[in-house]
Amino acid sequence: MTSPATSIDPAEIAKFEAMAAEWWDPRGKFRPLHLMNPVRLDYIATQIAAEFGRDRRGLRPFDGLRVLDIGCGGGLVAEPMARLGADVTGADAAEGNIAVARTHAEGQGLAIDYRAATAESLVAEGQRYDVVLALEIVEHVPDPAAFVATCRDLLRPGGIAILSTLNRTVKSFGAAILGAEWILRWLPRGTHDWNRFITPDELAGMAAGAGLTVADRRGMVFNPVSFAWRLSDRDLSVNYILTARREG
C-alpha cells in the first residue's frame, strides 16, 4: 500500500495554526468541538472496547493499546484516551497546536507523545498502532483517499481506524458554513470548504479501497435548542463518524 509524499495542505494548516492558542477555551473558536467531544469520545471508547474486548468500567480499560490521534490539535481527544490507560501519540503538522497540547498535558500530569509530524512520516518510521483516530481532518487534506490509505498503513493487523468528517449535503452547508461560520461566528469564515466535504459512501469506498473493512458508521447530530449532540443510526446528513478495521 503506497502513500503520497504528504497529506499536508499548507493553507489548511495555516488556518488552524492561527487559532492554536484557543484550543482549550470552551467559549472560543473551538467551541463546536468542545460541545461535540462527549458524544464522539463515547463512540470512540465504545468501538475500542468492543473491538479489543475491554471493559469500560475499569479504571484503565485501554492499558496496553497504542493509540494515534492524527491531526490531534490541542489534545481534546488525546488526553481522555491517555486517562483511559492508552499509550497515546498525538501528531499534528501545525507546530503551534503541538506546543499548546504539550503544555496542557503537562499541566494535567499526562504523559502523551506529542509530535509535530505527518501521518506519512510516522509510516516511514515504521510506527504501528492498535487504533488510529483521524477526527475532523479528512476534509482538510489534499487527497482524502491517499490519506485513508496512510491511516491503514499505520494500523497493526486487527487494528481499527476511526474517522469523522462532514457530509456534502445542502444541510451541512447550512449548518457548518452558514450557521457555524457566518451566523454564529463560532469559526472564522473560510475554515471549511463545502466542496471538500465527503459523503459517507465516499469515505466507506476509500476505506475499502485501502483494504479496510467498515465495521460501523453513525451520525453525530446537534440539537440547537438543547445545545447538545447525540449519536444517530440514521441521520448522517451533517457530521458522521466511521470505524474501519484492518483485518488479520
Hey, what's the cell of 233? 443510526
Hey, what's the cell of 152? 491503514
Amino acid 148 reads V
- % of the chain with per-residue pLDDT over 70: 90
The predicted pLDDT at position 192 comes to 77
Mean pLDDT of 5-17: 69
Spans of all domains in the chain: 10-246
The predicted pLDDT at position 189 comes to 74
Fold of 10-246: Rossmann fold (3.40.50)
Average of per-residue pLDDT values in the chain = 91
Query: Any known ligand binding at 179?
Result: no
Query: Any known ligand binding at 53?
Result: no
Give the C-alpha separation, 227 to 246, whole Å: 35
Give the C-alpha separation, 159 to 135, whole Å: 17
DSSP string, 66-134: EEEEET-TTTTTHHHHHHTT-EEEEEES-HHHHHHHHHHHHHHT---EEEE--HHHHHHHT--EEEEEE
Which of 49-63, 90-104, 168-182 is least confident?
Answer: 168-182
Instruction: Name, in order, each residue with C-beta under 8 angstroms of 68's C-beta and a sequence gap of 6 or more.
Output: 88, 89, 90, 91, 122, 127, 129, 131, 132, 133, 154
The predicted pLDDT at position 214 comes to 98
Q: What is the pLDDT of residues 183-237, one digit of tens each?
A: 666 667 777 788 899 999 999 999 999 999 999 999 999 998 888 999 999 999 9
Residue 180 confidence class, pLDDT cut points 50, 70, 90? low
The predicted pLDDT at position 163 comes to 98
Q: In the predicted model, is pLDDT for residue 2 greater than 70?
A: no
The predicted pLDDT at position 136 comes to 93
Give the C-alpha separation, 202 to 191, whole Å: 22
Query: Any known ligand binding at 9?
Result: no
Mean pLDDT of 52-63: 96
Where helices occur in the chain by DSSP H, the ranges are: 10-17, 31-52, 78-83, 95-108, 119-125, 144-153, 170-172, 200-209
The predicted pLDDT at position 178 comes to 74
Cα torsion 25, 173, 152, 160: sign: positive
Query: Any known ligand binding at 135?
Result: yes
Q: What is the pLDDT of residues 74-128, one digit of tens each?
A: 999 999 999 999 999 999 999 999 999 999 999 999 999 999 999 999 999 999 9
Distances, alpha carbon 187 to alpha carbons 11, 204, 225, in Å: 16, 28, 20
